[in-house]
Amino acid sequence: MTPSPKNIAILGAGLLGRLLAVELANAGCQVSVYDKSSSQNPQSAAFVAAAMLAPLAESVSTEESIVRLGYYSLDRWSQILNLLGEDVFFQQKGSLIVWHHQDTSSAQHFKNQLKKTSEYLPLSRLAQNLKKDDLMQLEPHLSRQFEEGIFLPDEGQLDNRELLDALLKKGTQLGVQYQWQFTVNLDQFPIDNFDHVIDCRGLGAKSNAPELRGVRGEVIRIYAPEVKLTRPIRLIHPKYPIYIAPKRNHVYVIGATEIESEDDSPMSVRSALELLSAAYTIHSGFAEARILESGAQCRPSFKNNLPKIQLHKDLRFIHVNGLYRHGFLIAPAVVDRLLNILLEDRNLSVNELEIEIQDLSYDHIC
């Protein structure tokens, strides 16, 4: 006798919620998604992000577990995009690290950290040190002031908004029910009506997860037809790891600040000046670019900046959160780990990767 499909509620329609909804619906589950925003005005951190897929670059400032989750996810994104069947911008040409002369000591620290990373990565994914001629061959339109750089192979990026739209479209095709402008109150939410309720609300879940904190990130989108960069460029900077990510149609995403704050008000003048000034030193053509928008969002983070899956003892309620600035980098790995937990017939290799999983008492739910 074929068991009836599982009935699953997902709280939050950000990147994690939408991706999980598609994967569960594709596996035959009945899925309902609840989100406080509207479909036309998403409020998740994923809507503002640059969607960088750069595990090697992130390795200099994060744990080995994130790097491994990132490479697992990098290999999974192509499969996910094939499932969606939409033309979502996806690029895997590697990324380039450059720095100004006055930041040479910071660059040396970056190189030293990459050496530590090399102890557990395959040779094919190691960083390559470049001299000026090599830089110009790789990115001919880069400013000629940079004397050296570092090339990180395999790394990639997505268009975050194209992906979010494609996930929503595919979820709808698979029968996912989306309840928009629905403010979740766990004291009143009918948890017992579902086989599983998965809370993916990010900072929206803070009233039920007080250990969460927000880390503000600010990003600028510009239209720059004079600039011809072909891959993400990271500029070693005294305050932030600034990146410039080229998208379709001469659009570039410049980011991102990293401020310990849950303030999601508009971008500050200070941050705008820092980001745009840095971009100008990468390519003078950015001076004539047009600012399309600036945005700020708060990334949900735990104290150690690592993701966490919290399980109620009967799996009726699951809380997944704390992806920090690594949302697009590790989301497929986190979702696959959840599929391991929810669908007994899944034997995904991600269960060998490290994601903190802990028991959740009823007192933490309501």
Query: Domain check: are 114 and 241 in the same one?
Result: yes
Query: Domain check: are 270 and 341 in the same one?
Result: no
Q: Which domain holds residue 133?
A: 95-153+214-301
DSSP string spanning 187-234? TTS-GGGSSEEEE--GGGGGGG-TT-EEEEEEEEEEE-TT----S-EE
Query: Domain check: are 288 and 220 in the same one?
Result: yes
Query: Domain check: are 12 and 104 in the same one?
Result: no
Please state the pTM of the whole predicted model.
0.94
State which of 258, 278, 301 marks the end of a domain.
Answer: 301
C-beta separation of 10 from 200 below 8 A: yes
Query: Domain check: are 124 and 146 in the same one?
Result: yes
Residue 211 phi/psi, 5-degree rounding, is -75, -10
The number of folded domains in the chain is 2
Does 188 reside within a domain? yes
* Residue 208: how many other CB atoms lie within 10 Å: 20
State which of 280, 301, 322 marks the end of a domain.
Answer: 301
C-beta separation of 180 from 73 below 8 A: no
Alpha-carbon distance 163 to 50, whole Å? 12
Does 1 reside within a domain? no
Per-residue pLDDT of the chain (366 residues; tens, 9 = 90+): 456 789 999 999 999 999 999 999 999 999 999 999 998 888 889 999 999 999 999 999 999 999 999 999 999 999 999 999 999 999 999 999 999 999 999 999 999 999 999 999 887 788 999 999 999 999 999 999 999 999 999 899 999 999 999 999 999 999 999 999 999 999 999 999 999 999 999 999 998 888 999 999 999 999 999 999 999 999 998 877 799 999 999 999 999 899 999 999 999 999 999 999 999 999 999 999 999 999 999 999 999 999 999 999 889 999 999 999 999 999 999 999 999 999 876 666 777 788 888 887 655 665
Indicate which CATH number applies to the domain containing 30: 3.50.50.60
C-beta separation of 252 from 222 below 8 A: yes
